[in-house]
Structure 1
């Protein structure tokens, strides 16, 4: 799905700001039929959970409602008029006045509604949006809803981050011509000193298409006609980690000599490949340094914030990180655009976190249910997962910063039924995008000798917490466990990277001993891991869990959230941040000890 952009033939109105707000049970039964009966207002974009002091709103399970008035610009007469929602967590319903115009399931990918036939240029309409935070065994991510003795609906879920909900990303009103560009796919290659740009354009109706590639100065460096083709850019400047360079592909739909629609898609020329045990960008070995992150800040929850975006990237540059994983869902597209412009490498992940009932058993002490069964995660779950993959790739396929798709986080890939569940999804992902490698992060229970899907993946991403959840406080034992585990994975003959490793740390807690939760222990824990990484030849990267502390659900094993961040939730560095800075700023995107 193309991101709305202002062009010579398209206009864009941002609908962010304060909207009327209320949760179901506190407003009228059909809130789209009139003015929302509520004294509350909520900002868009933002999660609603932490905005209000009323615990009934924070703990609400079900639909919440947003409403505002919108005026269509006078000059849009004769144009198609659309509403675009960058996300609605986890399901959305959209009403224009009294009419339902869109429904969508999936909390982190965009959707839109063509409202041309129900609005008029120059006139106002009432826009009402319902957002549901409900998670079940057939949603991605999954969860379970129960009703307690007081009749209150309760939501539980299997992921260790807070289930923030609402309109956490921007809302747009935009126009486009009747005959228009619907989609653009760009795939790039390198031929000597030239770049090759394969493009495919889908239009709303049969029409002539013209494309032009422009460099950063605006000079034309390639052109073509037709809905599909290949452009050649001689003397190409490649998009490289740490040295981004972007071109623009200007796509024009023609009626004779008249341009009826124009859309510009930025792109970078680069290649990605797995060869043996190496991960290559532009034919050169790349070593990942960075983090699993979260869209998580105080008050805003998962609400996108450009100030945090800039500051987080500044901290990643300061610490020497060259990459991050969008754990555990697709991030706002502005994040990927920023990574495109600044040369930061991204592993792009679906919201498939929690497809693992063994972890629940480990936390509760109860015997776990089978993860894959008709009663638990089933064909309907997999269909929802497939739709998430389609929408993720449709949105992010043209971003040069995205070098790999991660299809799930810590699934029960060692359990019976895992291969039957994942093999069709991996096949689908390769069909949707044959140009990028695939990975999935392996949970502690999944080992090289029992994992059922490792042979289907290109990169083996491992989540390990030896020294924290296993051999807690005993780093010598943890080091032997970790090395044995990683060497077993490396023996499979594929690139191996650590997708998660970390230790909870209370800022300000200090100790001269290896005391878990102290800042010194976090630093020593990381150093132990790094010693092991440097001894494993097939190793291609290290992503610390986590960039910053983040909010989680209620639980006695968490005190005000997950404290594995090397930065606090308000982005203050812990001792470990300086440990990582010393290491990463010397690695220069390659495995330690290897030739340049």
Structure 2
């Protein structure tokens, strides 16, 4: 039996005993889910139940059971805490309070019949908050911090066919907590999946996909830690790893057209599924370009949240988020403020969303210490900070949806960011970097701010902004920043009656090629479900928990209510973000294509007339071309219809076309309005045919 080293949780080191970070992928190698009911006991201090935790002879029959994955504070143990910027404990890095709720977990499991006996085995945790120490069959494997990042242990030779005991000690507070002050609920526990992976002889541990696009052609290079064969049947491609292949004609991947080419990477002992998107990201001429064209993010900041399960989300919830985003004209996600579950990125690849993948780093609470001791500026934290960036990049490097790496959020400045920047640029030069809080922007490919005024944003578009505090006018840093594209990483705070001025912000963001768009704060209210005395559900904010400090209602600032019901603000966002402009001018309808690269061939433009809000027959057939039946499918007497479709010629991205306005008889009394809608001609993964993408209206007259 190995004693539990209590000091692990206060050591700034990011972990011990772990395998090297690697890509997340799906293969044909056997895997065993260890999710389910585990034995659980919560203690008030870091000692937990003591050194006997990993002892197979320990009698845990009186312990409670808990669902894994989950947060214990949402399973009836202890309480959740919400803070916006303040740490919920005194700032004394790397130390945390002696009163440190600690969950001890134990699971007994057998291997399924047919499990390959001679293979290596790897134990993987997808997410543990905030520090987990792990034993298998009495042997200490090591520990890990970095709550929203996976970690693995090689358990070859330790796993038995029957009677395995997996023990995990999870500390609510650890040195890692100082790096995770991210305006959210503090929710401890094993909250993502746990699984045992068979690693066959000749299997693939890690691989990297390099898939670029230029001028209609694709270039593909797949490297791996073992020799393998890359096959993409649709392209007739079969090539060994390490060999670059040029393909004369491919469709590029983009959020508008998420074209994936399915294939496999096969080695002697394993076959891995590939989903390859050809695309090239570059910052050039002060603009963000993807596949050679400027891109405008119509984005949201997304915390992972469910009112019942916290940050332990299932695939169905992720799909619901993405479908709601796409249906409301959102095309981009900033993963505020940590890497999401890897399944979310697979779905972004498939559905089409640009992703700014953000490192699990925020030290905002050091503002209350005047930034004294802030980890990015302290040598003892350098490895822990770099470890988080390394694990993010290695895990997510093969996703075409990930177009920008973000170094973290609201963590001040410090030498650690230079080290992170250097490592990422060497490891992955194909993606630009973002970091907002360092006023020099030396480690970022973007100038970035939160919550600028409309006037300030206009000046930024003209590259006439005042330099940030601490940056001298006309200095090298000032000049470099003015040459950068601008990314609005947070704006239009959606709390209470917000978000406000969405249309005004969007008009400015569309006015200058310096802008690559922005991300509204934020996607969903972080309300946690509670039950009143009558059993009715209500949603709790930080102030509903008897604890200090707390961020009170500041967690209720989303475009969705906690149960994912769209708020009125989301409807406003949909209108502001619509990728097609529709305006009536002097007897014409002006259609403006605001897509980055796609024409409007996937849309049908239909129109109808209302008088005082009631649909009516309002157009003469001989006054305009009407294709097909009216909106309601009804022809009426007198040669008039209640609506129809507009014949819109081909309209390329960033261009406009004019079509005749249907001749509409104005009602003798009341207000007559024409509404023109751009709707999906065919169904997509995220919406059926007929879904309204954009709307324009004009008042035609009054009596």
CA distances 1:187-208 after superposition (whole Å, capped 9, x unpaired): 11225433111121113xxxxx
The question of whether the paired residues in 1 share the 8 Å contact of 2:124 and 2:151 is answered with yes
Q: Which residue of 2 aligns with 1:281?
A: 290
Asked if structure 1 preserves the Cα contact closer than 8 Å seen for 2:281 and 2:289, the reply is: yes
Residues 481 and 243 (structure 1), Cα distance of their counterparts in 2 relative to 1, 3 Å cut? closer
1:280 counterpart SS class? strand
Deviation digits for residues 272-299 of structure 1, max 9, x if unmatched? 1111222111112110012111011112
Kindly provide the CA deviation profile for residues 552-573 of structure 1, in whole angstroms up to 9, marking residues without a partner as x: 7566884345222111121122
In the TM superposition, residue 496 of structure 1 has moved relative to its aligned partner by 0.5
Q: 1:512: which partner in 2?
A: none
Per the alignment, residue 15 of structure 1 pairs with 34
2:455 is matched with which residue? 480
**What is the rounded CA distance, in whole Å, between the counterparts of 1:231 and 1:485 in structure 2?**
42
1:524 alignment counterpart: 500
In structure 2, distance between residues paired with 1:166 and 1:116: 26
Q: By how many angstroms is 1:228 displaced?
A: 1.6
Tell me the TM-score normalised to structure 1 length: 0.79
How much does 1:249 deviate? 4.8
Hey, what's the Cα distance between the residues in 2 that align with 1:180 and 1:5? Answer: 12
Residue 391 of structure 1 deviates from its aligned partner by 0.7
Verify: 1:538 aligned to 2:538, yes or no: no
Change (3 A) 1:72 1:102: farther
Pairing partner for 1:229 from 224, 243, 260: 243
Q: Which 4+ stretches in 1 moved above 6 angstroms?
A: 56-60
Is the contact made by 1:193 and 1:235 (CA closer than 8 Å) also made in structure 2?
yes
Q: Deviations over 1:514-534 (max 9, x none)?
A: xxxxx2xx2434344335434
Deviation at 1:548, TM superposition (A): 0.8
Please, which moves more after superposition, 527-536 or 400-409?
527-536
Matching of residue 574 in structure 1 with residue 549 in structure 2:
no
* DSSP 3-state at the match of 2:107: strand
Within 1, Cα distance between the matches of 2:159 and 2:373?
A: 47
Q: Offset at 1:328?
A: 0.5
Aligned residues of 1:321 and 1:584 also touching (Cα < 8 A): yes
Match of 1:108 in 2: 148
- Contact 1:77–1:120 under 8 Å retained in 2: no
In structure 2, do the counterparts of structure 1 residues 421 and 262 end up closer, same or farther at CA, with 3 Å as the change threshold?
closer
Which is higher, the Rg of structure 1 or of structure 2?
Answer: 2
> Contact 2:80/2:187 (CA < 8 Å) preserved in 1?
no
2:197 to 174, 180, 195: 174
1:530/1:195 CA distance change after superposition, 3 Å: closer
Quote how far apart the aligned CAs of 1:81 are: 2.2
Cα contact 1:279–1:286 (8 A) shared by 2: yes
Go from structure 1 to structure 2 and tell me whether the alpha carbon gap of 1:260 and 1:55 turns closer, same or farther (over 3 Å shift): closer
- Between 93-102 and 539-548, the greater mean CA deviation after superposition: 93-102
User: What is aligned with 2:486?
Assistant: 496
Q: Deviations over 1:430-452 (max 9, x none)?
A: 0111110001123xxx6xxxx12
Please give the per-residue CA displacement for 1:234-292, whole angstroms capped at 9, x wherever unaligned. 42222121321222453333xxxxx3333333321111111122211111211001211
Please give the alpha-carbon distance, in whole angstroms, between the structure 1 residues aligned to 2:59 and 2:426: 46
Structure 2, unaligned runs of 5 or more: 1-21, 83-87, 89-98, 468-479, 528-540, 581-593, 598-652, 657-703
**8 Å CA contact 1:22, 1:38 repeated in 2:** no
> How much does 1:2 deviate?
3.6
Unmatched runs of 5 consecutive residues or more in structure 1: 144-156, 204-208, 254-258, 362-367, 467-477, 507-518
Deviation at 1:222, TM superposition (A): 1.6
1:52 aligns with 2:39: no
After superposition, the C-alpha distances for 1:477-518 in whole angstroms (9 at most, x for unaligned) are: x54355456651797121102110133533xxxxxxxxxxxx
Cα distance, 1:39–1:352 mapped onto 2, change above 3 Å: same
The aligned residue for residue 393 of structure 2 is 393
Q: Which of 551, 556, 565 matches 2:558?
A: 565
**Counterpart for residue 231 of structure 2:** 213
Match of 1:320 in 2: 329
Alignment of 1:126-275 (within 5 A): 126-136=165-175, 139=176, 142=178, 158-203=181-226, 209-214=227-232, 218-219=233-234, 221-225=236-240, 227-253=241-267, 259-275=268-284
Instruction: State the distance in 2 between where 1:37 and 1:378 align.
Output: 45
CA contact (8 A) 2:417 2:443 kept: no
> C-alpha root-mean-square deviation of aligned residues, in Å?
2.9
Q: Within 2, Cα distance between the matches of 1:198 and 1:594?
A: 33
Write the distance in 2 (CA, Å) between the matches of 1:339 and 1:74: 36
